[in-house]
Amino acid sequence: MTVAHYEAEQAQLPGQAELDAQKPIRDVNLEQQQGFTELDRIAIWVTDRVGTMQFFFIIAVWTLVWLAWNTVGPRELRFDPAPAFVLWLFISNLIQIHLMPLIMVGQNLQDRYAELRAEADFEVNKKAEAEVGMILSHLSHQNDLMLEILRRVEGMEKVRSR
C-alpha cells in the first residue's frame, strides 16, 4: 500500500466536518417553553400541582374535617347536615368538573413534550451511530494498514536473514 493509496482511501472516509454539518441537536426544553401560550403554562402549573400527594392530602383532610364538623360538630354550627352532605357533594363535583379537563390539557401538553424529547433522542442516536460507524471504519482501515506494515517488516526481515 502506497502513501497515495492510503490518502485516497482516507479521503473516502466520512470526516468530522461532515458529521458536524448534519442537523444540529435540538434543545427541546427551549422549543417547549417557546411553544407554550400563557394558558398552556397555567394548565401545566395546575397539572403539576394537582397531581401530587400533597394535593391529595389537602383534599383528604378537607373532606375529613368537613364531614367530621357536619357530623359531630355543634348542631347549631353545622352548615351541611348528615347524611346528605349536599353542599359537600356539590363543591366536590364542581372541583372535579373544573380540574378534570384542565388536567387532561396539561397531560396533553406534557405528552407533546415527551414526543419532542423522543424525537431529539432519536436524532442524537442517529448521529451517534454515524459517528461510531466512522470510528469503526477508521479503526478497520488502521488495522489494514498495520497488517500491511507487519507484512512489509516480515518481508524485510526475511530478506535480511538470507
Question: How many domains does the chain fold into?
Answer: 1
pTM above 0.85, yes or no: no
Question: For position 68, what pLDDT does the model report?
Answer: 92
Q: What is the mean pLDDT of residues 11-23?
A: 68
CA distance 105 to 97: 13
Q: What are phi and psi of 37, to 5 degrees?
A: -85, 175
Identify which of 30, 54, 58 has the alpha carbon closest to the alpha carbon of residue 116: 30
47 — pLDDT class (breaks 50, 70, 90)? confident
- Please give the DSSP secondary-structure letter assigned to residue 83: T
Q: Which residues contact 127 (CB under 8 A, 6 or more apart)?
A: 19, 22, 25
| C-alpha cell read off for 57 | 392530602
Looking at the chain, the number of H-run helices and the number of E-run strands are 6, 0
pLDDT greater at residue 12 or residue 80: 80
Mean residue pLDDT across the chain: 86
Instruction: State which residues form the domain around 139.
Output: 3-161
138 — pLDDT class (breaks 50, 70, 90)? confident
